[in-house]
Structure 1
């Protein structure tokens, strides 16, 4: 038992299709009638996009419906990075300091720009009063300054000051033993 659906009818013009048939969206079309809703040219090849009830060729979809990269303004047709409330090409989502790609990993934000943790610490973190390097974890706040725990040392014996009370000589800490 063979099933013959009869002649192929074009979804666009309702005429019989003789010759090449385009099958898409569970319908049949004359090749010249399966067209992009944006540029109205026939969609050549098997790739197209559906959007808002219409079909679009790949270039028109990219130009008019793909998200735009915040870095370059061009359409994003591959992997999209969503960060800081906007879309990015992966290769444009880079550290504002070293320009290294941030990918999907962690980053810090300053004034709307992403930074890797190293550049963020170098540019924006508080500086230790003892060594002048960035403080990226817990800090000791004493003598109107911030210190790394290991940098807050006695000015005489150079051991870390760990007691909650200490003495001060020339605006520098002294441990209880040396005071």
Structure 2
């Protein structure tokens, strides 16, 4: 005689990883004006970004020539520079962080997250999975090495597997129907075998034995009534 409690459902897939562009909340902008003349007097009292000779775009001093506008301020092109390396940011994008501006390489060194697998900085598309950040090409199925990207995956012994390989490597067959127990199916283990919850029934009367007392004879489950009968 044995008491059987229904086992928890089969392993469910982990939450699908999320793909995002790196640091979507950061500013990346550039605006140009050529030969524009400001109309208001006075300098802006210094730049909050630390670049010299910048002034609020809404309060431009009289000025002729080329200048650029970024983050609400106007700059001489040669003075709009990276706070880290001093590179002129006249061409290309930039990042703003904590009141300072950076060229993309310097920003990556200081603020870009690291990949949980290769430990290198993530400078392109970023993946969030298992409460960590990854390069897309680094978060792969442990069996086929294919990037999982935004597909569901399953964990086994601390490693992620795509659904196909997980089923192939770790899937089991039901003792009752001889069909595969798919990931996510409810199942239980009894008599040394795995069963769909709906397949674990008395071998004679077919009453479901999930969570009930059962008996066995020749590896077949029996209800109490038929365990002691001569049928």
Q: How does the TM-score come out when normalised to structure 1?
A: 0.69
1:145 to 193, 213, 230: 193
User: In 2 relative to 1, CA 94–18 (structure 1 residues): closer, same or farther, beyond 3 Å?
Assistant: same
RMSD over aligned Cα atoms? 4.0
- Aligned twin of 1:105: 151
| 1:48, distance to aligned residue in structure 2 (A) | 0.4
Q: How does the TM-score come out when normalised to structure 2?
A: 0.56
User: In 2 relative to 1, CA 87–57 (structure 1 residues): closer, same or farther, beyond 3 Å?
Assistant: same
Q: Highest relative contact order (Cα 8 Å, sep 6+), 1 or 2?
A: 2
Q: How many residues align?
A: 175
Deviations along 1:112-167, whole A, 9 cap, x unmatched? 43222333344445665575966632224332332346987999xxx995553887
User: In 2 relative to 1, CA 17–61 (structure 1 residues): closer, same or farther, beyond 3 Å?
Assistant: farther
Contact 2:78 2:90 in 1 (8 A): no
Map 1:99-178; keep pairs closer than 5 Å: 99-124=145-170, 128=174, 136=183, 137-148=185-196, 162-164=207-209, 168-172=216-220
Contact 1:149 1:160 in 2 (8 A): no
Where in structure 1 are there 5+ consecutive unaligned residues? none
Contact 2:174 2:195 in 1 (8 A): yes
Higher strand share: 2
Q: Distance in 2 between matches of 1:160 and 1:99?
A: 48
Where in structure 2 are there 5+ consecutive unaligned residues? 1-36, 55-61
Greater shift in the superposed pair: 146-155 or 70-79: 146-155
- Aligned twin of 1:5: 40
Deviations along 1:45-72, whole A, 9 cap, x unmatched? 1410101210000121123212222233
Map 1:21-170; keep pairs closer than 5 Å: 21-124=67-170, 128=174, 136=183, 137-148=185-196, 162-164=207-209, 168-170=216-218
